Amino acid sequence: MKERPILVHEVGPRDGLQVEELVVPTEQKLEWVQSLAASGVDLIQVGSFVHPRKVPQMADTDELFRRLARPGVLPSSVRLTALVLNEKGVDRGFACGVSDFCMGVSASDTHSRKNTGMSTKEALSRILAMARRVVGAGKRVQVSVQSAFGCGYEGPIPEARVMDLAQAFLDAGFTTVSLADTAGHADPAQVERLFGRLLEAAPGIEVACHLHDTYGLGLANAYAAIRAGVTVLESAFGGLGGCPFTAVAGGNVCTEDLVHMLHRMGLRSDIQLGPIVATTRRAEAFFGRKLPGTIYKTGPIPAPGEEAS
Amino acid sequence: MKERPILVHEVGPRDGLQVEELVVPTEQKLEWVQSLAASGVDLIQVGSFVHPRKVPQMADTDELFRRLARPGVLPSSVRLTALVLNEKGVDRGFACGVSDFCMGVSASDTHSRKNTGMSTKEALSRILAMARRVVGAGKRVQVSVQSAFGCGYEGPIPEARVMDLAQAFLDAGFTTVSLADTAGHADPAQVERLFGRLLEAAPGIEVACHLHDTYGLGLANAYAAIRAGVTVLESAFGGLGGCPFTAVAGGNVCTEDLVHMLHRMGLRSDIQLGPIVATTRRAEAFFGRKLPGTIYKTGPIPAPGEEAS
């Protein structure tokens, strides 16, 4: 079996921004996405197709996809992804040329009902239908189990429930599966164990993790995920983010901190920290507050002889 | 071979405070140490025996040991440790009843010269003599390799150099060995690899890690250390600290964040977060600034049904 390289999926423009009340103008978002793409990250989640009244920050997702698709705007190597919540979102994604769709089901029934108005079971059958439609149209899909490591409402989530949802995805033929720590409840031993179970059940599939740093465990969990064989790491520049539909949720794992860790581990030295840090600095100036990330404040570990920052 | 339990060594009163210019009054330190001890952490580093003109913050170390030894001041289960830098420090430790001595040699020659005025080689022979004297007097000693994972001055440190120093400790019969990431340069893969090598070379010894969170990797490194078999974790309440003799050094791994991670992993549920968090809040008020720790701000992950903090 060929070893998969580690991919970085920058979800800041979606999961980083959706919780922010101050709406980022489209031109600004375009600049940020271009700057993030220039770093060499592999995927960028541009936005989600959600009702603009529910999340005004995401109202320009269709326009962003159209403008980012114009020739020369982005390097061809970067893949743009969108989060879709329902059939209407799939329609909108098709209409503006999205090729990579992300969608998920919460393993917490309470979170599922608050987020979608449906139970986990109802949401699963809806998501499976949506995913089939996406794949049927020749597009890529990543299906995820949200709140896979614990829930702000329900607390611990039984691992069997997470595995059952993942198995339903696998049984339906979907081979890119993400487990999301929506609330930031995961601990590294749990991360290593649960991803280990998933990869044991389905060796060779592409497994992604989506981690939040609510309780300071984001990078520890990222390391545990890598150890378990996870190859797609979702993160947000500056450590922005948090899901507005969970009880407590801190920011996403910070992209530049994650990339810095990967560099130190000898991984993905082709991804440039500079453009990510520059984007975080612009976001810091835009929002007018310090963001959670570390490396944009400290700089990376200096090479020998470099001035300490 | 009997499995060793994970021990938490609170080094905040020494490594957390020594970098602070505002000297904490002895009465305050006594209160903090009592509060930390009430949490159930296993070891507390009370101070270091260094010249009071060099580090005024540590000038009351002898007095602290004397007062903390009085009956009823601390639970008998907690062990108090002191950092000693030279023979004079050992004398002072003996005089005030210290039973657990910590001492170390930097794997970085530059750091060693700046810290001690001696090369690594000279410092090693001095430390070995001191450690022999301590053990000869019936006291315990922990010997450590400082800057084991990289140095603010020299950059990467060859693993062979670290292993050679550790081997010198082992050859001299010392069985509690710490590797210290003085500058916070360690990454989790490196931590797991280097501690793995040490425990392979000397299975059954007691291995400690001393981690700094300069670049946000503190807890990831702690998890990697635990995975490798490290059983003594050094940390400082509030994430206070940093060595004044390195070029760049962020705070220590934060004790309450570490204990929270251990709890989530099903380890050391007997250690109470409350008294540690309370100590951090007092230190925050004393220094008049936010400290680096996370959990004292967010609270621990709430149990189901608990009010989200």
Neighbours of B197 (CB within 10 A): 16
**Rounded-to-integer distance, Cα B229 and Cα B202, Å:** 12
User: Which positions of chain A have pLDDT values less than 50?
Assistant: 244, 246-249, 307-309
- Please tell me the pTM assigned to this model: 0.95
Radius of gyration of chain B (CA): 18
Report pLDDT for B36. Answer: 98
Using the beta-carbon criterion (under 8 Å), do B220 and A215 form an inter-chain contact? no
**Rounded-to-integer distance, Cα B229 and Cα A176, Å:** 33
Instruction: Measure CA B95 to chain center.
Output: 23
Q: Is A309 at the interface with chain B, CB within 8 A?
A: yes
**Rounded-to-integer distance, Cα B37 and Cα B279, Å:** 10
**Rounded-to-integer distance, Cα A198 and Cα A135, Å:** 22
Chain B neighbors of A300, CB-CB under 8 A: 215
Of A251-255, B64-68, B241-245, the least confident: B241-245
Report pLDDT for B152. Answer: 87
Disruptive mutation site among B109, B157, B214, B219 for chain A (greatest number of A CBs within 10 Å): B219
Give ∠ CA A17-A220-A215 in degrees, rounded to 5: 55
Report pLDDT for A306. Answer: 60
Active-site choice (B151, B209, B243, B254): B243
Phi (first) and psi of residue B132, to 5 degrees? -60, -40
**Rounded-to-integer distance, Cα A300 and Cα A260, Å:** 7
Total residues found in chain B within this entry: 309
Burial code (b: 16+ CB inside 10 Å, e: under 16) for B198-224 equals bbeebeebbbbbbbbbbbbbbbbbbbb
CB A162 within 8 A of CB A107: yes
Give ∠ CA B57-B152-B186 in degrees, rounded to 5: 100
Amino acid at B171: D
DSSP 8-state secondary structure symbol assigned to residue B103: E
Report pLDDT for B247. Answer: 47
pLDDT in tens, B143-170: 999 999 999 899 999 999 999 999 999 9
Chain A neighbors of B250, CB-CB under 8 A: 298
The whole-number average pLDDT for the span B68-82 is 97
Among B259, B198, B193, smallest CA distance to B227 is for: B193
pLDDT range class, residue B276, cuts 50, 70, 90: very high
Of A173-177, B2-6, B48-52, B198-202, the least confident: B2-6
Query: Is pLDDT at B249 greater than 70 in this prediction?
Result: no
Shortest CA gap A228–chain B (Å) = 13
Q: Is A150 at the interface with chain B, CB within 8 A?
A: yes
> Which structure tokens are listed for A118?
């449906």
DSSP 8-state secondary structure symbol assigned to residue B212: B
Q: Is B152 at the interface with chain A, CB within 8 A?
A: yes
**Rounded-to-integer distance, Cα B41 and Cα A79, Å:** 48
Disruptive mutation site among B111, B182, B187 for chain A (greatest number of A CBs within 10 Å): B187
Instruction: Kindly report the average pLDDT of chain B as a whole number.
Output: 94
Phi (first) and psi of residue A109, to 5 degrees? -60, -40
Chain A neighbors of B254, CB-CB under 8 A: 216
Tell me what percent of the residues of chain B surpass a pLDDT of 90: 90
Q: What is the DSSP string of A140-189?
A: EEEEEEETTT-BTTTBS--HHHHHHHHHHHHHTT--EEEEEETTS---HH
Tell me which residues of chain A, numbers 102 to 141, contact chain B at a CB-CB cutoff of 8 Å. Answer: none
Q: Is B266 at the interface with chain A, CB within 8 A?
A: yes
**Rounded-to-integer distance, Cα A225 and Cα A164, Å:** 19
Report pLDDT for A286. Answer: 97
Total residues found in chain A within this entry: 309
Neighbours of B63 (CB within 10 A): 14
Q: How far is CA B189 from CA B120, B214, B264, B304, in A?
A: 26, 17, 22, 34
Active-site choice (A96, A151, A209, A243): A243
Task: Report the residue of chain A nearest B188, measured CA to CA.
Answer: A223
H helices of chain A, where? 26-38, 61-68, 87-95, 109-116, 120-136, 159-171, 188-201, 218-228, 255-264, 273-287, 295-298
Report pLDDT for B3. Answer: 79
Report pLDDT for B66. Answer: 98
Pairing of strands A79-84, A100-106: parallel
Using the beta-carbon criterion (under 8 Å), do B248 and A302 form an inter-chain contact? yes
CB A94 within 8 A of CB A64: no
Beta strands of chain B (E only): which ranges?
Answer: 7-10, 43-49, 79-84, 100-106, 140-146, 176-180, 206-210, 232-235
Q: Is B188 at the interface with chain A, CB within 8 A?
A: yes
CATH class in words for A7-298: alpha beta
Q: Is A300 at the interface with chain B, CB within 8 A?
A: yes
The whole-number average pLDDT for the span B182-199 is 96
Q: At A201, is the secondary structure helix, strand, or coil?
A: helix
DSSP 8-state secondary structure symbol assigned to residue B49: E
Report pLDDT for A5. Answer: 94
B243 is catalytic: yes
Disruptive mutation site among B248, B301, B306 for chain A (greatest number of A CBs within 10 Å): B301
Annotated domain spans of chain A: 7-298
Report pLDDT for B250. Answer: 73
Query: How many interchain CB pairs under 8 A, A with B?
Result: 116
Chain B neighbors of A214, CB-CB under 8 A: 298, 301
Task: Find the CB nearest A303 among B155, B188, B260.
Answer: B155
Using the beta-carbon criterion (under 8 Å), do A153 and B254 form an inter-chain contact? no
pLDDT range class, residue B196, cuts 50, 70, 90: very high
Residues in a beta bridge with A82: A47, A101
Query: Is pLDDT at B17 greater than 70 in this prediction?
Result: yes
Chain A neighbors of B247, CB-CB under 8 A: 308
CB A17 within 8 A of CB A57: yes
Q: Which of the two residues, B245 and A196, has the higher pLDDT score?
A: A196
Tell me which residues of chain B, numbers 232 to 251, contact chain A at a CB-CB cutoff of 8 Å. Answer: 247-248, 250
